[in-house]
Amino acid sequence: MRVRAPRSLLGQFIALHVGIALVAAITLLWSASALLHQTADHFQRNLLRRQAALSASFGQAGAPQPVVLSNGMAVSVIGRNRRVLNSYGPPRPQILAAAPLDETSHFFRKGAIQAFCLPATVGWIVVSQDDADPEVVTDDVVRNFLSRFALISLPIALLVPVIGALLARRLTHRMRMVSLAAAQIGPQSLDARLPRGLLPLEAEPLAEAANAALDRLAAAIRVQTAFAADVAHELRTPLAAIRLRADAIADPEARSALMAAVDRAGRVIAQLLALAELERPLESSGTTVDLHRLAEQVVADRAPAILASGRSIALDRDSGPAQVYGYSEALTLALENLLDNATRHTPHGTAIHVRSGSSHIIVSDDGPPLPQDDLARLTERLWRGAGSPVEGSGIGLSIVDRVAHAHGGRLNVRRGDAGRGLVFEIKVRRPKLGVTGD
């Protein structure tokens, strides 16, 4: 099973420090153990060497004399005939059998017993010491030191990743602050930029590059917005002239078709102007809008045409105030688009219902059901249902969705009760405290 590294920077930092701390602790313990055992072995060899030299000095003066032996130590004197002349301490025949009896001194080991063989005048002096003897304290000191050293070094090794995690958390906290600032930047806050001085020096160029990109993007959006507004304003005058000439056409059918085309062009121009208005910051150019009053005005304007088309319309309102902060013209256009959409895409006899609330406007109808695939694509710009006989630009619902988002809300689309018709709900943000309208 492959172990995956954490995706977060903090998790990677902690995992890295934990790994380093474990490797450092194991390496430190192994190094200390090897050094202590080497030191103890060196001390033990010196002890065996001195004891052998002392025993040899007795042998040179005559017969070997009894010596004072250290804990767990044994001394044997082997003659030239390779027979044991004297032995002091515990008998260790296996050591004597393994002793290399030649003209040079040797250290050798048999299990837990380390021995030293020294050539002497009488033959050889063999000194040995059992490390497992309870009275031998060298290995006990080593073991006790290592256990206590582990008790000290392991908490220190664990403290290293904890300190590193705290430092990394402080670093990632500053990165989260920058991320939150970046999340607030949008079409309504084009002048906002990433804060400087919070990121590490290595990441600071990223913030500078992002701010430079935002500067270019804001400039491009302003140019595009100004262009759309200028084009819409320039088209109004020739469109009005075309409408006057179209109204003078004697043929009723030709006049009706031309007036319908002029009306569609007029709606597109109004939508362009509304979109240009939405690019401005809401806090600086918005006003307080009464959704109840706005719904009444739009329904009153659209009701004659809807009733003349063979459909019915009703208006209802929730109790309580319904004031929001936003663009009155854009919200009016959004509601008009929903009513026009319900009128164009439902059969005769359909009932259209409008309801205004504290922070929403709902337009519903009892028309035929819509396929689920088409329902998910209703707000796509320039999309029209397959085989739709109704003419249009295909941007009406996308503009409604854009208006809702510009007011801190969203456009919800769902099927009506019992799967009949559609329900469009424009959710908008409640006004901020202290904000008043014009």
* Length of the chain counted residue by residue: 438
Selection from 378, 385, 383, 389 nearest residue 415 by Cα: 378
Q: Do 394 and 272 reside in the same domain of the chain?
A: no
Residue 44, domain member (yes or no) = yes
Q: Do 366 and 340 reside in the same domain of the chain?
A: yes
In this prediction, residues 184-207 reach a mean pLDDT of 76
Instruction: Using pLDDT thresholds of 50, 70 and 90, give the confidence band for residue 303.
Output: very high
- Structure token digits, residue 148: 């206590």
pLDDT for residue 197 is more than 70: yes
pLDDT of residue 390: 46
Selection from 328, 348, 370, 353 nearest residue 425 by Cα: 353
DSSP state letters, 309-344: TT-EEEEEE-SS--EEEE-HHHHHHHHHHHHHHHHH
- Asked which of 280, 303, 318 is the last residue of a domain, the reply is 280
Residue 155, domain member (yes or no) = no
- Asked which of 280, 298, 314 is the last residue of a domain, the reply is 280
Ramachandran angles phi, psi of 82, nearest 5°: 65, 30
Residue 376, domain member (yes or no) = yes
pLDDT of residue 438: 41
Burial 26-55, CB ≥16 within 10 A → b, else e: eebbeebbeebeeebbeebeebbeebbeeb
Find out whether 127 and 44 touch, Cβ atoms under 8 Å. Answer: no
Ramachandran angles phi, psi of 360, nearest 5°: -155, 160
pLDDT of residue 62: 43
Q: Do 226 and 319 reside in the same domain of the chain?
A: no
pLDDT of residue 399: 82
For residue 411, the 8-state DSSP code is E
pLDDT of residue 277: 66
In Å, how far are 17, 109, 253, 379, 399 from 396, measured between CA atoms?
56, 96, 26, 8, 5
CA angle 224, 230, 235 (to 5 degrees): 125
- Over residues 243-295, the pLDDT tens digits come to 778 777 878 888 788 887 877 777 777 777 766 666 666 555 678 899 999 99
CA distance 272 to 278: 10
β partners of residue 77: 86, 125
Find out whether 124 and 108 touch, Cβ atoms under 8 Å. Answer: no
Find out whether 47 and 40 touch, Cβ atoms under 8 Å. Answer: no
Find out whether 123 and 102 touch, Cβ atoms under 8 Å. Answer: no
- The radius of gyration of the chain from alpha carbons, rounded to an integer in Å, stands at 47
Q: Which residue has the higher pLDDT, 290 or 16?
A: 290
Q: Do 386 and 427 reside in the same domain of the chain?
A: yes
Instruction: Using pLDDT thresholds of 50, 70 and 90, give the confidence band for residue 162.
Output: confident
Q: Is 375 helix (H, G, I), strand (E, B) or coil?
A: helix
In this prediction, residues 12-17 reach a mean pLDDT of 69
Torsion of CA 391, 397, 402, 404, to 10 degrees: 150
Give the residue numbers spanning the domain of 75: 9-140
In this prediction, residues 30-59 reach a mean pLDDT of 78
The H or E element that residue 253 is part of is helix 252-278
pLDDT cut 90: percent of the chain above it: 13
pLDDT of residue 297: 94
Order of strands, sheet of 360-365, starting from the edge strand that comes earlier in the sequence: 312-317, 351-356, 360-365, 422-427, 410-415
Residue 363, domain member (yes or no) = yes
Q: Do 19 and 104 reside in the same domain of the chain?
A: yes
pLDDT for residue 380 is more than 60: yes
Q: Which residue has the higher pLDDT, 56 or 410?
A: 410
pLDDT cut 70: percent of the chain above it: 75
pLDDT of residue 140: 55
In this prediction, residues 395-405 reach a mean pLDDT of 82
- Over residues 48-100, the pLDDT tens digits come to 888 888 887 765 544 444 455 666 788 888 888 888 888 888 888 898 888 89
- Over residues 117-135, the pLDDT tens digits come to 999 888 899 999 887 765 5
Q: Do 120 and 87 reside in the same domain of the chain?
A: yes
pLDDT for residue 385 is more than 60: no
Find out whether 56 and 118 touch, Cβ atoms under 8 Å. Answer: yes
DSSP state letters, 182-250: HHT-STT-TT--PPSSSS-TTTHHHHHHHHHHHHHHHHHHHHHHHHHHHHHHHHHHHHHHHHHHHHT-S
Q: Which residue has the higher pLDDT, 90 or 200?
A: 90
Instruction: Using pLDDT thresholds of 50, 70 and 90, give the confidence band for residue 361.
Output: very high
pLDDT of residue 294: 94
pLDDT of residue 281: 60
Do β-strands 410-415 and 113-119 pair in parallel, antiparallel, or remain unpaired? unpaired
Q: Do 254 and 351 reside in the same domain of the chain?
A: no
Q: Do 378 and 353 reside in the same domain of the chain?
A: yes
- Structure token digits, residue 166: 């705290």
- Domain count across the chain: 3
pLDDT of residue 176: 81
Q: Do 38 and 105 reside in the same domain of the chain?
A: yes
pLDDT for residue 394 is more than 70: no
